[in-house]
Structure 1
Amino acid sequence: MTQPASRTDLPPPAVILAGGLARRMGGGDKPLLPLGGRPVLAHVLDRLRPQAGAVALNANGDPARLAGFGLPVLADSLPDRPGPLAGVLVAMDWAAALGAAQVLTVPGDSPFLPADLVQRLIAARGPQGLALAATREADGTLRDHPVCALWPVALRGALAAALARDERRVRAFTEAHAPGRAVWDAGRADPFANLNTPEDLARAEARLAAL
């Protein structure tokens, strides 16, 4: 079957990397933790849907637990859960099947993503089309958020080859492909704050209440 031509003038499809386990919170799926009376994943979708095209979830295990969101659930195509890059690869494969030239990935435990995420990542793309989100800390240093990124589908062969060599570090792969960076100030309200501990969740509850 002939694949549709790639488009770069449409909002990119997006894949939420939703497989994070809440080990420091007692187990389970972090994106399904309650925040403000709704799953964390619902807040991620609220931020993402206005600026992306089609949306899917990357998660392993029984997809039924995510059925309530009405989204495609994409399991890793590689065994043994080799980490976030496996989710990026399946995102690229899914986007390629849609005829997209690029795909956005975001973590499933970041409920405060910026409303201009896609716009600024597109503007920041490097020479190979890769763009990462980053924040500037109070001391001026930059902190990358490499799973929150815009990936050119053209890199999926290189990514598959890297994973076949058991190269699993997201930063190592991105730095090999000349990424651009879209930079936000972290300040007191980091748009990429994620939830790793009960304290993080409590801070997110307070931040959500303030909004």
Structure 2
Amino acid sequence: MNADSALLANDRVLGCVLAGGQSRRMGGGDKSLMDLGGKTMLDMILTRLKHQLPDIILNANGDPGRFQAFGLPVVADPVGQYAGPLAGILAGLTFAAETRPNVSHVVSVAGDTPFFPETLVERLCASVPADRPVISLASSADKLHPVFGLWPVALRRDLRKWLETGKSGKVLAFVDRHDSVEVSFDIDPQTGLDPFFNANKPEDLTRVREVLSQSPL
């Protein structure tokens, strides 16, 4: 860790859970709200993230009332309709710029990845300088997971222009425009899974339930 990165304290980082996907491979609906045996995937994600950050929002489209029980701000995509994770990241950056003057970065977390690392925020923050805008992305097993990233609020205008002018909605296409670093994470010793295992299909939910039955988290 360098001296500059140590300045990225928790009160300068906003957590943004990207919970607004259309879940086509799950048959539609909110997969983050599906029951996993007394808890939802979003319950699990928020439990992990709240241990790392005090300030969290949800990015989701449609009726925000379905997330009312979580007691968190729900922010819709500011551009397009279901424009993908970049639009959700822009939602977090815009919310931070408009309501959190002390926040300089947003950590994005996928809403379908219940076992993401408990050191995610700490390690992403430690990987970037505080004096210039550098994006930090998580990886595991030599694979990037661009939805899990640390995003400087200073890049919000460029991201909005990128999306409004119809550029690629792929995260890495935007990242390639800016300085970025990669932070690698190991297999989760508690679950034996890749920490970025995501539940995209019904059989993935079955796997999550099996893990919870063996070792409730």
Instruction: Measure how far apart 1:53 and its partner are.
Output: 2.6
Instruction: Measure how far apart 1:185 and its partner are.
Output: 2.3
3-state SS of the aligned residue for 1:15?
A: strand
State the partner residue of 1:73: 74
Which runs of 5 or more structure 2 residues have no equivalent in the other structure?
A: 1-6
2:207 to 203, 206, 209: 203
2:135 to 130, 146, 159: 130
Instruction: Measure how far apart 1:129 and its partner are.
Output: 2.4
1:109 to 112, 118, 125: 112
Rounded to whole Å, the distance in 2 between the matches of 1:196 and 1:67 is 24
In the TM superposition, structure 1's runs of 4+ consecutive aligned residues that sit over 6 Å from their partners are: none
Once superposed, what is the RMSD of the aligned Cα atoms?
A: 1.6
Which runs of 5 or more structure 1 residues have no equivalent in the other structure?
A: 1-6, 137-141
Q: Does 1:190 align with 2:194?
A: yes
CA contact (8 A) 1:135 1:186 kept: yes
Rounded to whole Å, the distance in 1 between the matches of 2:202 and 2:135 is 33
Which residue type is aligned with residue 32 of structure 2? P
3-state SS of the aligned residue for 1:78?
A: coil
TM-score when scaled to structure 1? 0.89
State the partner residue of 1:3: none
Percent identity for Structure 1 against Structure 2: 43
Rounded to whole Å, the distance in 2 between the matches of 1:118 and 1:70 is 21
Rounded to whole Å, the distance in 1 between the matches of 2:211 and 2:10 is 32
Which range is displaced more, 39-48 or 169-178? Answer: 169-178
CA contact (8 A) 1:125 1:181 kept: no
Instruction: Measure how far apart 1:121 and its partner are.
Output: 0.5
Deviations along 1:35-78, one digit per CA (max 9) or x if unpaired, are 13211100000100011131110001011111111111001111
Rounded to whole Å, the distance in 1 between the matches of 2:134 and 2:26 is 37
Which residue type is aligned with residue 200 of structure 1? D
Instruction: Measure how far apart 1:84 and its partner are.
Output: 1.1
CA contact (8 A) 1:20 1:31 kept: no
Instruction: Measure how far apart 1:158 and its partner are.
Output: 1.2
Instruction: Measure how far apart 1:119 and its partner are.
Output: 0.7
